[in-house]
Amino acid sequence: MGRYGDGFVIPVRKDRIEDYRRIAEQAAPIWKEYGALDYWECVGDDLDVKDLVTFPQLARAGRGEVGG
């Protein structure tokens, strides 16, 4: 039996992280109802990696947004 994971990375304004977290907590039971075995929310804090395309560049994150 194979294993796989789905992931989504989106920019979220720093001052809206708690709003996003509340919505994510409401969504978690729905994802599990439709088959997710687990659900995690994370916030990036060290996204600038030398010599690589950074998440903010890739996601075209605006000023004051972080990866979540």
pLDDT tens, position by position, for the chain (68 residues)?
A: 667 777 777 888 889 999 999 999 999 999 899 988 888 888 877 777 788 887 777 778 788 777 65
pLDDT, position 1: 60
Instruction: Count CB-CB contacts under 10 A for residue 58.
Output: 13
**How far is 31 from 64, CA to CA, in rounded Å?**
28
**How far is 35 from 66, CA to CA, in rounded Å?**
28
pLDDT, position 30: 94
pLDDT, position 29: 93
